[in-house]
Structure 1
Amino acid sequence: MTTTRRDPLPRAFTRIAWSSVATQMAEQIALVAVPLAAVLMLGAGATETALLQAAQTLPFLILALPFGLLIDRTSPRRVLLASELLRMATLGSIVVLIALDALSLAALLALGFIGAIGTVGVSVAVPSSVPRLVASERLMDANRWLELGRSTAFISGPVLAGAIVSATNASTALVVATIACAAAAVLLIRLDIPRSARAGRSSPWRDAAHGIRYVLGHQLLRPMIVTSTIFNIGWFLIQSVFVVYALDQLSMTPTTVGIALGVYGAGMVIGATLSAPLSRRLRFGLMTVLGPAGGFIAATLMATTLWIPASTFAFASFFLFGLGPVLWTISTTSLRQAVTPATMIGRVSSLVVVSTYGARPIGAGLGAVIAATIGMSWCIAAAVVVFALQLLVVLTSALPSVRALPSMAQPVAR
């Protein structure tokens, strides 16, 4: 029977979608609670919190591809469940150490690193699972729901964490995050994800190299990777100086800076909501252009504040920075899932994770160098050039010419 847009998504996908919401909520709460625990309980400063950020980022760079290989060789369900249990164990360990008054910076760094390993596993396994659970004509719907859940968690998670820490302490917020991880794990226990058939076994190094060659040689996957990398360099080029720039140059207050971040989250939710009607009215290739175009317009609006220092432009910029990438993620994730063979989906998804997270420290480091040498205003100007480049990559690629989402020949769980 042919699946239509009015049919409900498969029950297996519904379970993984709700599990993803719980995972994202736990992640956002922990991202607020763990640094607050470091500062309030251990007296950590900027250097220590930067080390903590590095510990939570490093696994994305060094372990995403191994996770992709593992998913292609085994079941994504095993990776999802093990990753969620690992995240639950590390968050629970921090809570226990706090209760025993035995928490140290070294322990927090180690547990942050180990917990991030679980986050990497989830980040690679979820998009690798979707095409095994959902028919090709429903990929946009499935990824829209995943992004809507992620966007909602992005807004509500930090607010909830801040409220809990203010009312009680960081330990209570971490307990809530641990419970959310446990709920995500429970939803995954009975999840059935079809395994992809493998033609034969080869060395992991050969499989990894084959995945990289496949992506770099594919006319649709290559511009996705390149655009994602350039976008994140530009985004973190702005992020690295925005708070200081907003306070010093735009006369914004901590409250209005917080509002700007809230507007960013609102843009994410609205983008996820608009993706369905837009995909019905626009050619698919145009959907892939909207995100990079939105990023370029957003960077231009931010650069406008160099001459007109009004916070309104910053708010509009952050709104588009939230809206555009969500439209990009939904459309290109669906396209990536449709054109990638089932036996390679893990490796391809992992390379997207590497390109996304690997670009962030590059952008932040570039921002630090530019701000220290010629001034932070030049970071904003440089970001416009970077975002223009990512738009150019998309416009000159084969992505805009895609008329519709291709069909995929993969087993679909009902």
Structure 2
Amino acid sequence: MRFPLPFSSSRATLPAPFQQLAWSNLVAQSAEQISLAAAPLVAVFTLGATARDTGLLQTAQTLPFLLLSIPLGVYADRRSRRALMAVSEGVRALAMASVLLLVLAHALTLPLLAVLGFLGATGTVAYSVAAPALVPSLVSRDVLPVANGRIELARSVAYSAGPALGGLLVGWIGAGWAYGCAAALSTLAAALLAGLREPPRATTATRHFMLELRDGARFVFGDALLRPMLATAVFFNIGFFTLQAVYVPYAVHRLGLSASAVGVTLGAYGIGMVCGALAAPSVARRVTFGRTLIVGPFCGLAASFVMVATLAVPSFWLAAASFFLLGVGPILWTVGSTTLRQAITPAGMMGRVSALNSTATYGARPIGALLGATISARFGMDACLVAAALGFAVQAWIIVISPAARLARIPDGAAVLSP
């Protein structure tokens, strides 16, 4: 038995509120990717940052996922998710506009860039926690895979254009205006949410924060499907951000790439995501739901091996191929894991479960970035590439032995395992 095709041309009509969310998501993701791509380029080319510095900068830009996902997730279960997302984009716009002003005043420093990156990422956390919790209230259960596929396809487009555009903007018109574009896009994303009508939720008595958190944690860690999915995502992000922490200085100093070329290699990640999205219907026709969940982790492992190969053969094309592989497979993982989580999580617990997922997975990003900074400072950038490959090996092993890999279709309460 096969699962519904996430990217197929379904006859199901996605409602107007979801369409508003999808457009806002596209613009918000584009703003995030431009700013994330610009930050290490500004640090290296404008502020003379080392690999250790860029690793610490990545840590600051990802630390809010570890610190704030759970509080914001509990808030998303208590209050308007649409309002939380709109405010979060306003916060990010303010942070990015501040970087622009500091660049124009010639007052930008690495600590200020890190602080404003932290503030901008706080907006990203709020949006990323609330959006998956909002989707099931906007569409019916039978079109959840289609809706999630649309969200991830939009994200793929942003990941394709954002890093390349960020690199080009830094190279062509300067660092400040790259952040100015990001600020404008975040403002537009907030405006697109203004007219979205969020369906009312059943009111429940407000309980103590720790009790609500405990219930969410018990659900996630007690579920045989969600537990290995969480662990796989944790090690994927540790491996990915150990690599990301040093990639820009590695690409500049070891591969000899310009700012624009670095942006293009990073943009290959998004191109891979788009290709993965387009290939998804064909993959879904041929394999079960569980097998689809394996594709992303093994593409990540292959990507890490390709990047390690650049130690022996420094090459723009190998670096681009590595990021392409990091995009082409994991989009199937993202759609599948999100759909699985939404399918088996009670509606009133969706924000907390999304927050716990964000804390564990995105929270692994500052750990990976800090690991990259530490390893590069002690053993050099080459060792970071090898350490990242080890992280990718662990996540591939976790998912392949898990019961989630044996799912024949999207479970409805009880898991449906293939032989």
Output the TM-score relative to the length of structure 1.
Answer: 0.84
Which one of 40, 65, 71 corresponds to residue 70 of structure 2? 65
Correspondence 1:155 to 2:160: yes
CA contact (8 A) 1:223 1:397 kept: yes
Match for 2:393 among 367, 385, 388?
388
Amino acid at match of 2:127: V
Q: Tell me the amino acid that sits aligned with residue 55 of structure 1.
A: A
CA contact (8 A) 2:163 2:263 kept: no
Report the more deviating stretch, 379-388 or 307-316.
Answer: 307-316
Match of 2:178 in 1: 173
Q: Is the 8 A contact 1:95 1:174 kept in 2?
A: yes
- 1:77-106 Cα shifts (integer Å, max 9, x gaps): 111111122222333344455566666666
The offset of 1:269, in angstroms, is 1.4
Partner of 1:19, secondary structure, is: helix
Counterpart among 245, 254, 259 of residue 257 in structure 2: 254
- Classify 1:184/1:389 alpha carbon distance in 2 versus 1 (closer, same or farther; 3 Å): same
Structure 1 gaps, min length 5: 409-414
Deviations 1:192-244 (A, max 9, x none): 22243254321001111221121111111111110001112222334445567
Q: Which amino acid aligns with 2:227?
A: R
Q: Distance in 2 between the 1:27 and 1:341 partners?
A: 30
1:215–1:222 CA contact under 8 A, matched in 2: yes
On the 8 A contact 1:71/1:125 being kept in 2, the answer is yes
Report how far residue 341 of structure 1 moved: 0.8
How far does the alpha carbon of each residue in 1:42-82 deviate from its partner, in whole angstroms, 9 at most, with x for none?
x4644765554443222211111001000111121111111
Summarize the alignment of residues 355-366 of structure 1 with structure 2, pairs less than 5 Å apart: 355-366=360-371
In the TM superposition, what whole-angstrom CA distance separates every residue of 1:314-337 from its partner, at most 9, and x where no partner exists? 554332222121111111111111
CA contact (8 A) 1:196 1:342 kept: no
Aligned residues of 2:162 and 2:267 also touching (Cα < 8 A)? no
Q: Is the 8 A contact 1:292 1:325 kept in 2?
A: yes
The answer to whether 1:352 aligns with 2:330 is: no
Change (3 A) 1:35 1:283: closer
Match of 1:81 among 65, 80, 86: 86
Distance 1:367 1:167, change over 3 A: closer
User: 1:95/1:374 Cα in 2 relative to 1: closer, same or farther (>3 Å)?
Assistant: closer
Aligned to 2:4: none
The structure-2 alpha-carbon separation of the partners of 1:196 and 1:406, relative to structure 1 and needing over 3 Å to count, comes to farther
Q: Does 1:189 align with 2:194?
A: yes
Change in 2 beyond 3 A, CA 1:180/1:245: closer
State how far apart, in whole Å, the 1-side matches of 2:245 and 2:275 are: 25
SS at 1:200's partner residue? coil
| Distance change >3 Å, CA 156–CA 86, structure 1 → 2 | same
Tell me by how many angstroms 1:169 deviates: 3.5
Q: Report the RMSD for the aligned CA atoms in angstroms.
A: 3.2
Q: Is the 8 A contact 1:75 1:194 kept in 2?
A: no
Partner of 1:412: none
- Alignment partner of 1:254: what SS? coil
The match for 2:233 is 228
Alignment map for 1:287-302 (pairs within 5 Å) = 287-302=292-307
Cα 1:69–1:161 shift into 2, 3 Å = same
How far apart are residue 259 of structure 1 and its match? 5.0
Shift of residue 18 of structure 1?
Answer: 0.5
Match of 2:126 among 121, 135, 157: 121
Are 1:271 and 2:271 matched, yes or no? no
Contact preservation (8 Å) 1:215, 1:348: yes
Indicate how the Cα distance of structure 1 residues 252 and 174 shifts in structure 2: closer, same or farther if over 3 A, else same: closer
Give the aligned residue type for 1:222.
R
Report the Cα distance in structure 1 between the residues aligned to 2:54 and 2:380, rounded to whole angstroms.
24
**Shift of residue 107, structure 1, vs aligned partner:** 5.2
Cross-structure match for 2:417: none
**In structure 2, how many angstroms separate the alpha carbons of the residues matched to 1:272 and 1:360?**
24
Q: Match of 1:130, as an amino acid? A: V
Q: Is the 8 A contact 2:232 2:398 kept in 1?
A: yes
1:25–1:157 Cα contact (<8 Å) kept: yes
Tell me the CA shift for residue 257 of structure 1.
Answer: 5.6
Q: Which runs of 5+ in 2 are unaligned?
A: 1-8, 414-419
User: Comparing 341-350 with 100-109, which one deviates more in the overlay?
Assistant: 100-109
8 Å contact 1:72–1:196 — kept in the other structure? no
C-alpha separation in 2, matches of 1:406 and 1:227: 19
- Paired residue for 1:139, among 131, 137, 144? 144
- Give CA deviations for 1:294-345 in whole Å, capped at 9, x if unaligned: 2233334445567777776555433222212111111111111111111111
Q: Distance in 2 between matches of 1:36 and 1:227?
A: 30
Query: TM-score scaled to structure 2, two decimals?
Result: 0.83
CA distance, structure 1, for counterparts of residue 351 and residue 164 of structure 2: 33
Q: CA deviation at 1:13?
A: 0.9
AA aligned to 1:253 is: G
Deviations 1:234-267 (A, max 9, x none): 223344455676678xx74315765543433321
